[in-house]
Amino acid sequence: MLKKNLLLIVLVLAATALILAGCNGTTAVVPSYGNGATAAGLSVNGRGQVVLPPDVAYVTIGVHTEATDVSQAVQENADQVAAVMASLSEAGVAPEDMQTSNFSVYTMDNYDPLTGLVDGKKYSVDNTVNVTARDLANMGELLDSAISAGANSIWGVTFDLENKDTALAQARDMAVEDAKSEAQALASATEVTLGDIISVSYTDTGYYYPPYYGLGGGGGGAQAGAATSIVPGQITVSAEVYITYAIQ
């Protein structure tokens, strides 16, 4: 009779595990121990999310020059780059936040504007600088001053949190509390008691609001001389945990 009752208990626990497995976002397992005994388990997902405004921006600013004389092309480029970096410094960008990422010189065919035929070679020089901007409120003015100083290519404007550790920790703690709350609610609904935690897994992901870069102006279009419009948006830092509890 004792063996029959034990078998009945195991079957009931297994049936409970199958019922819980059908719950949305929640699964139940029946782990096996070496002595042949079984104990039901309850697995839940927990999610946490922290939304913050970015505090740093990264942008690539470049100068492109062309001339039929290589020395002239290089000198003109150097003068424009120096002026651009001076404007960035005046806008508050620290020297350590400016780094040359590319410098190249190459030849191209030079075409006669009247005949359209090749009449020789010309030299093209590119110099690009990666810039870290920390004053996001004046980001538009910073880019405008760089353009006025001679920058003729700007791309790759992205926003970020310089230190995500605190936000990730907050999101992780929220995810754990969410998982605990879900497990307690399910345990109460199924009239079981939560035991020790059997396993925990954790992942984190940062989602970035797409940056917008364009010329400001009314009527849905750009206007000559209008200030550059920069919209940083917000950054969402997310974390997810997966916790399995023993149940009694």
Tens of pLDDT along 10-62? 333 444 444 444 443 444 444 444 444 345 689 999 999 999 999 999 999 99
CATH class of the 2-52+168-247 domain in this structure: alpha beta
Predicted pLDDT at 4: 37
The rounded distance, in Å, linking the Cα atoms of 191 and 174 is 25
Predicted pLDDT at 231: 82
Predicted pLDDT at 189: 94
What CATH number should be reported for the domain whose range is 56-160?
A: 3.30.70.2970
Predicted pLDDT at 233: 85
Note whether 2-52+168-247 and 56-160 share their fold.
no
Three-state DSSP at 228 gives strand
> How many percent of the chain have pLDDT more than 90?
58
Q: Taking residues 169-185, what's their average pLDDT?
A: 95
The rounded distance, in Å, linking the Cα atoms of 143 and 131 is 11
Q: What is the pTM of this model?
A: 0.68
Residue 226 pLDDT > 60:
no
Domain boundaries defined on the chain: 2-52+168-247, 56-160
Query: Which band of pLDDT confidence, cut at 50, 70 and 90, is reported for residue 133?
Result: very high
Buried b (16+ CB within 10 A) or exposed e, 178-216: bbbebbeebbeeeebebeeebeeeeebebeeeebebeee
Element (H, E) at 194: strand 194-208
